[in-house]
Amino acid sequence: MSFIVPVMRFDDELDEAIDFYDRAFYNARVEKVYHYPSDPDTCGLLHEHPEVAGQTMGAKLTIGNSILYFINAPVPVDTDESVSFIANFQGIDDPQMYHRAEETWEKLCDGGEVLVDFESFPGGRSAGIVRDRYGVTWEIMVTISDGKKRQFLVPSIAFGGQYQNQASEAVDFYTEVFPEHIVDETLCYPEDDGLVTKKSLLFCAVQVLGQCFVFQDAGVPTESSPRRSTVFAIFCKDQEEIDTLWDQLAANEEPSGFPGLCTDKYGINWMVVPDHMASKAEDGPTMEKLWSMERIELADL
pLDDT digits (tens, 9 = 90+) for 214-252: 999 998 887 655 556 889 999 999 999 999 999 999 998
Residue 1 has pLDDT above 70, yes or no: no
Q: Whole-angstrom Cα distance, residue 199 to residue 20?
A: 40
Q: What is the pLDDT of residue 127?
A: 93
CATH fold of 83-217, please? 2,3-Dihydroxybiphenyl 1,2-Dioxygenase; domain 1 (3.10.180)
Q: Does 83-217 match 3-75+229-300 at the fold level?
A: yes
**∠ CA 229-250-6 to the nearest 5 degrees?**
35
Give percent above pLDDT 90 in the chain.
Answer: 60
Q: What is the pLDDT of residue 227?
A: 55
Residue 42 has pLDDT above 80, yes or no: no
Q: Whole-angstrom Cα distance, residue 137 to residue 43?
A: 35
Q: How confident is the model at residue 88 (pLDDT cuts 50, 70, 90)?
A: very high
> Mean pLDDT of all residues in the chain?
88
Q: How confident is the model at residue 105 (pLDDT cuts 50, 70, 90)?
A: very high
From 93-97, 102-106, 112-116, 224-228, the region with the lowest mean pLDDT = 224-228
Q: How much is the average pLDDT of 284-299?
A: 84
Sheet holding 230-236, edge to edge: 28-35, 56-63, 66-71, 3-9, 230-236, 269-274, 261-263
Q: Whole-angstrom Cα distance, residue 136 to residue 77?
A: 13
Closest CA to 135 of 81, 59, 75, 76: 81
Q: Where are the domains of the chain?
A: 3-75+229-300, 83-217
**pLDDT, tens digit (0-9, with 9 covering 90-100), for 46-69:** 667 777 788 898 999 999 999 999
Residue 277 has pLDDT above 80, yes or no: no
CATH architecture observed for domain 3-75+229-300 = Roll (3.10)
Q: What is the pLDDT of residue 195?
A: 92
